[in-house]
Amino acid sequence: MAALVTAAAGVVILSPELPGRSAAPTQKQPDQPQPAREAAPEAKPAAEAAPASPPLAVKPVTTQPVALEPSPPPESDLESAWAEKLRETPDYRGFFDRMRASFPAEWTQALRDAAADDGLRKPEGVDLLMSLAVQAARVKSGLVAARAGAPALDRLFASQLAVARQLAAGDSALCLDFLNGAAAQSLTQFAASHRPLMANQALAGLEAIDDGGRAAIQRQPPTQADFDLLEKALRAKGLSADAIALLLDGKAPATPIPDDQACRNGVAYLETLANLDEPARMRLYALAVQLMARD
């Protein structure tokens, strides 16, 4: 959801086109006689434009669902290694159990990937397994989370905010990686020292997917009033015009924003979303999840 992003194009323009705005009219040319010509072959429709990337502070939430081929059951030695690691890290038990039940093929592949080069037996191997499993679940069914009920979406974004706050307190560069959706593996060392926090985030993602599948809520897109309300609230938190333009419109400022300030801006963005009235908050949350799923 430049110093603030890896590239200016990496931040989506959240604000829709203003109502009533249209392309400038062109001057009409006098009619000229044209020689007869054969009808041109019907033009092929242009390829659909590539979707925008998600906004800065919400990008880690979910990605496009992709049908994956079922994987065969994991080998017994991998299961043994997993069981050993789980005994050492009970914080992840709830997430692993739910992941295994809801996404068995993706769980198996994550287990194999984590075990490559004996990675599962390393001290941070279980954290790598958690990160890979989260990634696989988002790829498979992340879009479904956009249809979850308000409690599930609130918990999902609250868990993202909790991680962002912790990162902002100790590592602004890693904080920006997190906010901009860097590969989950980059957070492995952080996860190893913050397992309850990361387990809560991972489980919130699975719960939002499950809830979205049951609730299947179809929300209207955010209105211009929703975006205006968000911008006003960001200004009230002290964010500059440049910071707001970067967060909402992807407009990189002439002078890059320092990493520590950019990280604080991302945290403020999540805090501001969380404090909006529920109808606007849910529309913006659902849009953010949809954009991330199509990134």
Quick: pLDDT tens for 138-164.
888 989 999 999 999 999 999 999 999
Closest among 71, 76, 64 to 106, alpha carbons compared: 71
Q: How far apart are CA 262 and CA 247, in angstroms?
A: 10
Judged by average pLDDT, the poorest of 57-61, 157-161, 247-251 is: 57-61
Report the chain's mean pLDDT, rounded to a whole number.
79
The position carrying tokens 């989506």 is 12
Around Cβ 78, how many Cβ atoms within 10 Å?
Answer: 16
Is 295 exposed, middle or buried, given 0-12, 13-18 or 19+ CB atoms closer than 10 A?
middle
- Residue 67, pLDDT > 80, answer no
Q: How far apart are CA 278 and CA 263, in angstroms?
A: 25
SS (H, E, C) 112-172: HHHHHHHHHHCCCHHHHHHHHHHHHHHHHHHHHHHHCCHHHHHHHHHHHHHHHHHHHHHCH
| Residues above pLDDT 90, as percent of the chain | 49
Asked whether the whole model's pTM tops 0.75, one would answer: no
User: Which whole-number Å values give the CA distances from 180 to 59, 107, 148, 235, 291, in the listed order?
Assistant: 6, 25, 23, 22, 13
pLDDT band at 124, cuts 50/70/90? confident
- Domain ranges, ordered by start, for the chain: 52-295
- Residue 52, pLDDT > 60, answer no
Q: How far apart are CA 229 and CA 248, in angstroms?
A: 12
User: What local confidence, expressed as pLDDT, does residue 249 receive?
Assistant: 86
> Dihedrals φ, ψ of 14, to 5°?
-75, -40
SS3 label, residue 13: coil
- Residue 8, pLDDT > 50, answer no
Mean pLDDT of 79-105: 87
User: What local confidence, expressed as pLDDT, does residue 228 receive?
Assistant: 95
* Long-range contact set of residues 169-174: C-beta below 8 Å, sequence gap at least 24: 172/259, 172/260, 172/262, 172/263, 173/259
pLDDT band at 77, cuts 50/70/90? confident
The position carrying tokens 């906010």 is 179
Q: Which residue has the higher pLDDT, 41 or 274?
A: 274
Residue 124 corresponds to which amino acid? E
